[in-house]
Amino acid sequence: MSILNVKKSVSALIVGLLISSSSFAAVSNEINESLIKKLESLKVDVDSISESPVKGLYEIVSQGAIYYISENGQYLLNGDIFDLDNSMNNLTSTKVAEIRKANTAEHFAKIKDFEKDMIVYKAENEKHVVTVFSDTSCAYCQKLHSEIPDYNKLGITIRYLAFPRGGVNSNAYRTMVSVWCADDQKAAMDEAKKRRSIKPVTCDNNVIDQYNLGVALGITGTPTLFLEDGTMMPGYLPANNLLQAIEQKK
């Protein structure tokens, strides 16, 4: 399950997460198998469970996101832990950043495997290549797309991978499948980004694999940009600002 859909399981976990009577605190150095099985039964993928900075709470890492569970396994918390004695340091976001940095380094190399599937708007005088995980229903994705001529004019090639934020059951997913399956992908993308209806078509495609790669990279929203060195830049940037960010990385 993607990190975007994990939250949908929170209420079910709070109501129904019951584990065996053995003490979770007593197994701090090993994964509690009963808890893992319960989480997996709710289609929540667990990467790791460890002690959190707060006594009585344990930290669950699930596909780049962090949740906290009570010692008895009954309550799941979704939120940030702040260290009030250390300048309100957000311990949760710091840990998430560490996880994403590691995940990005590991998974960014896999982007190359998707190059043949990208929808590319190539700059005539190409100097830089930026990979954009995009959702056709996202307002800032639409804004970025409307300014592709500006990016291209500065020598920035924009190449798209699909990241329908609502997952495989969303209208955006179905639209993006139609875009990737269209005879003229760029024309279909142009229409979809203008919020115009496009012909619904299907074919052998890997839109879901593109989405899953984005999840593995820690993407939580769109657009998310990746520079050639693997730097992740969440959110829309005007062409001049993007060029400045790229050149500052040199």
Tokens of 152: 């291209």
Q: Which of 92, 176, 72 is nearest to 134 (CA)?
A: 176
Q: Tell me if residue 4 falls in helix, strand or coil.
A: helix
Q: Which of 141, 150, 204, 209 is catalytic?
A: 141
The residues near 79 (Cβ < 8 Å, ≥ 6 apart) are 68, 92
Q: What residues form DSSP beta bridges with 57?
A: 70
Q: Which of 138, 181, 183, 196 is catalytic?
A: 138
181 is catalytic: no
Helix or strand (DSSP H, E) at 215? helix 207-216
203 is catalytic: no
Q: Which of 45, 83, 117, 165 is catalytic?
A: 165
Distance CA 94, CA 80 (A): 10
Sheet containing 57-62: order of strands: 48-51, 57-62, 65-70, 76-77
Distance CA 14, CA 3 (A): 17
138 is catalytic: yes
The residues near 232 (Cβ < 8 Å, ≥ 6 apart) are 100, 104, 217, 218, 219, 224, 225, 226
Catalytic residues: 135, 138, 141, 165
